[in-house]
Amino acid sequence: MPVAKEWRSADALNKPVIPVFTSPEYIPPLLASRLGIQIDVFNLEDNIKKLRTLIIKKVPKEAQAIPLQFKFPKTEAETVQTNKSTSFILPLLNFCMENGVSIKNILVTTAAGERVPDPYFDEPVSNVIAKFGSEFKIILEKTQIIANFKICIIGEEKSGKSKLLQYCVECSYDDEYIPTIGVDHWVKSFNHQSPEKDFEITLIFWDLGGSFDQFDTVKMDLFNETDGIFIVGDLTNKESFAQIESYWLPNIQKNLNMEVPIILLANKCDLEADIKKTVVGRLAKKLGIEKVFFTSAKTGENVDEAFKSIIPILIGKELKIL
């Protein structure tokens, strides 16, 4: 009896070409070769290889690589080979990275100037070229500016400096108190938009432990080339604000040889306060601090807004542009 299943390849007219048998026990009545290929019913693996060869000969494999041409004003046109099923955004993103351009700041058009809508970026390359052709122009819509800034964060022990940075960078909070010994570092990148420019700003936070008993030369070296400072006070401990007035701010102003933006963070606003907000506001005004934020590292209240607030100041002051 023949086996229950036979695999067959078909030619263009859908006629059987070669039977591939699933069991060596079944010997077909005809052992003659078909189309010049000798079939050995006792060697299934070899039959399958021969069948595959025949199919490839009769139906050539379709080319998977498709050439795309990208033209950017600063460079010569570049041809990129990509797979037809790949999302269009992948070769485009690679091209942008090679040319140091943010994909968020570009406009993609056809060779004739027709815009390629953003939804097509997620389509397979084959779909995109069927609609728009294979040649594209990359136009820079905004000027992208990338800058890094060093930011120091200071204040009394247990005021919540590290917890604020933890929430800002990791969006998390835990109750365990671990004192910062010396200096810790946190990094957070922000995107800042203006009508004509796109800023990628990275703030490198220097979290200074609150155990500094005096500002000696070594400790003040940590403030070298500081672009901005956050001073943290603890709303549950009014003495921490007295220390800002009598110790932290006077020593900073005395030892820094340049003016830098200083922002006051009145932290732990989710807890019962030991000092009134109006008093904090008057203190900030007295000390010449223009920006005050009432924050909570536990709930996240005003944390992102506070740290982002320094970016426009840095852009205007350090980069001289808005």
Q: Which residues contact 171 (CB under 8 A, 6 or more apart)?
A: 300
Residue 39's pLDDT is 54
Q: Give the CATH number for residue 87.
A: 3.10.20.90
Average pLDDT, the chain: 79
User: Do 14 and 71 belong together in one domain?
Assistant: no
Q: Looking at 90-104, 109-123, 281-295, which range is the least confident one?
A: 90-104
User: Do 149 and 14 belong together in one domain?
Assistant: no
pLDDT digits (tens, 9 = 90+) for 6-19: 434 433 444 444 44
User: Do 177 and 232 belong together in one domain?
Assistant: yes
From CA 96, how far away is CA 165, in angstroms rounded? 32
Burial label for 4, CB within 10 Å (0-12, 13-18, 19+), is exposed
pLDDT digits (tens, 9 = 90+) for 213-235: 555 555 667 777 889 999 999 99
User: Do 134 and 149 belong together in one domain?
Assistant: no
Domain tally for the chain? 3
Query: Taking residues 253-279, what's their average pLDDT?
Result: 90
Range of the domain at 37: 6-53
Instruction: Tell me the pTM.
Output: 0.57
Residue 10's pLDDT is 39
User: Do 230 and 271 belong together in one domain?
Assistant: yes
C-beta of residue 95 within 8 angstroms of C-beta of residue 138: yes
User: Do 87 and 168 belong together in one domain?
Assistant: no
Domain boundary among 109, 141, 173: 141
User: Do 209 and 236 belong together in one domain?
Assistant: yes
* Alpha-carbon separation of residue 194 from 100, 139, 144 (angstroms): 20, 18, 10
Element (H, E) at 137: strand 135-140
> Percent of the chain scored above 70 by pLDDT?
71
Burial label for 276, CB within 10 Å (0-12, 13-18, 19+), is exposed
Query: Taking residues 142-160, what's their average pLDDT?
Result: 84
User: Do 49 and 157 belong together in one domain?
Assistant: no
Residue 59 lies in a domain: no
